[in-house]
Amino acid sequence: MASNLIDGRAIAAQIQLELTVRVAALKARGVVPGLAFVRVGEDPASKVYVGMKEKACAALGLGSATHILPAQTSEAELLALIGQLNAAAHIHGILVQAPLPKPIREAVVFSAVLPAKDVDGFHPVNVGKLMLGDETGFRPCTPAGVLELLVRSGVKTDGAEVVVLGRGNIVGKPMAAMLCQKGRTANSTVTICHSATRDIKAHCRRADIIVAAIGVAEFVTADMVKPGAVVMDVGVNRVPDATSNTGTKLVGDVDFKNVQLIAGKITPNPGGVGPMTIAMLLQNTVRAAEAATR
């Protein structure tokens, strides 16, 4: 792997190896960390994502149960299932896979999961704890994975100028909140850019670290990046590709081929942030099991 690549697969494997010790300690006390997946409908991407998470649970020795509901499921029926999982002692974490079919309201569903089992970090209680710098809450997995990549790759965040591209509730906002907290692994000056930002290129060019989570294929180009800057690509975008059997391919939010030439460090896509999202989900689940059995 090129010297300036941040290897998400290797770092995720390191975290999972660390977790094996904690899982073994729990099992020695008769506790198997349990994670419940809830998928509504047959969204192809959701099926793939849940399948990957199931495999990761099995590899680490976690218990998992997947509940697949038809797309016609009502919000009340989904909430009833979540209530059952909240009450199940063997389930320590609950993940409701987004997107959910309309007219189900995601905010209502995420708020129904007990904060202590909210391993996705979407419940208002955990969101509030994140904003307050309270580390007892669960952090959303993707931005937590980005921060872990930065820390374990030796990237200095203290005093760094960071630009976060995207203001979504899943990545952009929590990413900014994590990086601006007081602490050795944060303490950054953060700018959030979005669709109404004037001259995004100018903001990006002064950044020491760019976190691209804007949802636009190859949005970050080489002329937007300061030489030596660290670039974290969170995007997952499907674009046409005549050479592919499916006629499409997945690309990130960064023009990787050209940006890599000037970046100090950069995440590949795939193989960068994606594996870390799953690693942080596993970590949150183990934490939830430890907290539930103290």
Residues 92 and 171 occupy one common structural domain: no
What's the rounded mean pLDDT across residues 16-28?
98
Residues 186 and 255 occupy one common structural domain: yes
What's the rounded mean pLDDT across residues 57-77?
97
What's the rounded mean pLDDT across residues 218-230?
98
Q: Which two tokens stand for residue 95?
A: 């993940």
CATH of the domain at 112: 3.40.50.10860
Catalytic residue among 7, 16, 53, 283: 53
* pLDDT attached to residue 1: 59
Residues 188 and 268 occupy one common structural domain: yes
Residues 49 and 160 occupy one common structural domain: no
- Ranking 16-25, 244-253, 281-290 by mean pLDDT, the lowest is 244-253
In a domain, 258, yes or no: yes
**Is residue 97 among the annotated active site residues?**
yes
Residues 57 and 180 occupy one common structural domain: no
First CA to last CA across the chain, in angstroms? 42
Residues 223 and 109 occupy one common structural domain: no
In a domain, 1, yes or no: no
In a domain, 6, yes or no: no
CATH of the domain at 235: 3.40.50.720
In a domain, 100, yes or no: yes
For the cut 90, the answer to whether the pLDDT of residue 60 exceeds it is yes
Residue 241: pLDDT band by 50, 70, 90 thresholds? confident
pTM of the full structure: 0.95
Bridge pairing between strands 230-233 and 237-240: unpaired
d(CA 181, CA 59): 33
Write the DSSP string, 179-195: HTSSSTT---EEEEE-T
d(CA 53, CA 119): 13
* pLDDT tens, residue by residue, 80-124: 999 999 999 999 999 999 999 999 999 999 999 999 999 999 999
Residues 106 and 145 occupy one common structural domain: no
φ, ψ at 210 (rounded to 5°): -115, 130
Beta strands in the chain (DSSP E): 34-40, 63-69, 93-96, 161-165, 189-193, 209-212, 230-233, 237-240, 248-251, 265-266
What's the rounded mean pLDDT across residues 201-218?
97
* pLDDT attached to residue 246: 85
Q: Which two tokens stand for residue 243?
A: 């050479």
DSSP symbol at 223:
G
For the cut 90, the answer to whether the pLDDT of residue 55 exceeds it is yes
Residues 193 and 83 occupy one common structural domain: no
In a domain, 134, yes or no: no
**Is residue 120 among the annotated active site residues?**
yes
H/E segment holding residue 280: helix 273-292
In a domain, 2, yes or no: no
Residues 210 and 152 occupy one common structural domain: yes
In a domain, 90, yes or no: yes
Name the domain count of the chain.
Answer: 2
**Is residue 53 among the annotated active site residues?**
yes
Residues 178 and 236 occupy one common structural domain: yes
Catalytic residue among 120, 208, 253, 255: 120
For the cut 80, the answer to whether the pLDDT of residue 260 exceeds it is yes
Would you say how long the chain is, in residues? 294
Catalytic residue among 97, 173, 208, 233: 97
Looking only at Cα atoms, what is the longest distance across the chain?
56
In a domain, 158, yes or no: yes
Residue ranges making up the domain that contains 39:
34-116
For the cut 80, the answer to whether the pLDDT of residue 235 exceeds it is yes
Q: Which two tokens stand for residue 188?
A: 């950054």
Residues 146 and 43 occupy one common structural domain: no
Residues 145 and 267 occupy one common structural domain: yes
